[in-house]
Amino acid sequence: MNYSELHEDKKRGTFDFPIELYYVEPGAPRYQMPLHWHLEYELILVLQGSFTLSLDGRQMELQAGDSAWIADGVIHGGAPHDCIYECVVFDLGTLLQDTPVCTKSAAAFLASENGFSGRLAKGSTEAALADRIFDAMEREQLGYEWTTVGLLWQLLGCLLGMHSDIKPPQSRQQITRMKNVLTYIRNNYGEPITLDELAAVAGMSPRYFCRAFAALTGRTPIAYLNYYRIECACERLTLTDKSVTEIAFACGFNDMSYFSRVFKQLKGTTPTAYRK
């Protein structure tokens, strides 16, 4: 799975069925899930192993059989551990916009900043519905689009009934600032980037920015930058024939020994061995 496809400007599925399924297993170019967000909703299902999920800075562990519901605009990412997982990404606004039933509650749900995002525990009604959504998307039997949308409606009803009083974990202003920083890293990771530069993008002092960024990501800004660059390098090592040196420089490393050291620290192997 190419997670560069999961940035907010990616169109999902087709015009009349804006839902797309992704299957991710060890060895995929972007097996790790760098922090990102998009204007669509997302369901994650862990098939095997475990997955440490971050949602706007909140950490949670997903085990095999667990699912997660992620609302639009939520900064999310995670670390799989011997994990196989699937994602369904869908444009809920498009699915609901012409719905004649419950129009008012649907509009309120889409406009709310307090929407639920979190774990759907294995064995729960919500997790069972999520599992059936993934099953329908995988099988693609005749009429699966109707089945998928119907199951999404049922799941929405459960979530609305159980999580109507959820409050956002952090201020929207701070989340927006961190989104700006993550966008800046994504667009400029191949160029030299300093801590002061990232702090300026966030509109914060470097000291306060470091604390706020670490609270959201679990890493310092520079550690996250290196992590993101290495993930991009892994994708290029897997999908292109460019030399290791070319890839290192394209991903923002101007010192090969430093690139190799950071790569081995994060991946447990050398770039050349990873490519094989």
Residue 12: CB atoms within 10 Å: 21
Give the highest mean pLDDT range of 15-24, 154-163, 166-175, 195-204. Answer: 195-204
Band of pLDDT at residue 98, cut at 50, 70 and 90: low
The pLDDT of residue 101 is: 60
In terms of residues, how long is the chain?
276
pLDDT score for 7: 42
One domain, residues 141 and 93: yes
Q: What is the predicted pLDDT for the residue at 30? A: 79
CATH number at residue 242: 1.10.10.60
pLDDT range class, residue 5, cuts 50, 70, 90: very low
Answer yes or no: do 47 and 154 share one domain. yes
Tokens for 50, please give them: 């475990």
Same domain, 156 and 178: no
Co-location of 144 and 259 in the same domain: no
Rounded Cα distance, 220 and 225, in Å? 9
Residue matched to tokens 């980037």: 193
What is the pLDDT, as a whole number, of residue 1? 34
Query: Is residue 202 pLDDT above 80, yes or no?
Result: yes
pLDDT of residue 100: 60
Q: What is the pLDDT of residue 260?
A: 96
162, 184, 203 - which closes a domain: 162
Q: What is the dihedral of CA 98, 104, 108, 110, to 10 degrees?
A: -10
One-letter amino acid at 226 equals N
pLDDT at 216: 86
Are 57 and 176 members of one domain? no
Q: How far apart are the first and last CA of the chain?
A: 18
Count of alpha carbons within 13 angstroms of residue 101, beta-carbon side = 4
Above 90 in pLDDT, residue 29? no
Instruction: Determine what percent of the chain is predicted with pLDDT higher than 70.
Output: 84
102 and 57 inside one domain: yes
Average pLDDT, the chain: 86
pLDDT in tens, 104-149: 666 566 555 556 889 999 999 999 999 999 999 999 999 999 999 8
Query: Model's pTM, two decimal places?
Result: 0.77
Question: Is pLDDT above 80 for 245?
Answer: yes
Number of domain units in the chain: 2
Q: Answer yes or no: do 149 and 16 share one domain.
A: yes
**Shared-domain flag, residues 210 and 138:** no
- Asked if residue 255 and residue 154 are part of one domain, the reply reads no
How far apart are alpha carbons 268 and 266 in whole angstroms? 6
Residue 87: inside a domain: yes
Final residue belonging to a domain, choices 162, 180, 206: 162
Give residue 82's domain range: 3-162
Q: How confident is the model at residue 160 (pLDDT cuts 50, 70, 90)?
A: confident
pLDDT one-digit tens code per residue, 42-91: 999 999 999 999 998 899 999 999 999 998 889 999 999 999 999 999 98
Question: Do residues 30 and 73 both lie within one domain?
Answer: yes
Q: Tell me which H or E stretch contains 163.
A: none
The DSSP line for 113-150 is SS---EEE-TTSHHHHHHHHHHHHHHH--TTHHHHHHH
130 lies in some domain: yes
CA nearest to 16, candidates 103, 106, 90, 100: 90
Residue 247 pLDDT > 90: yes
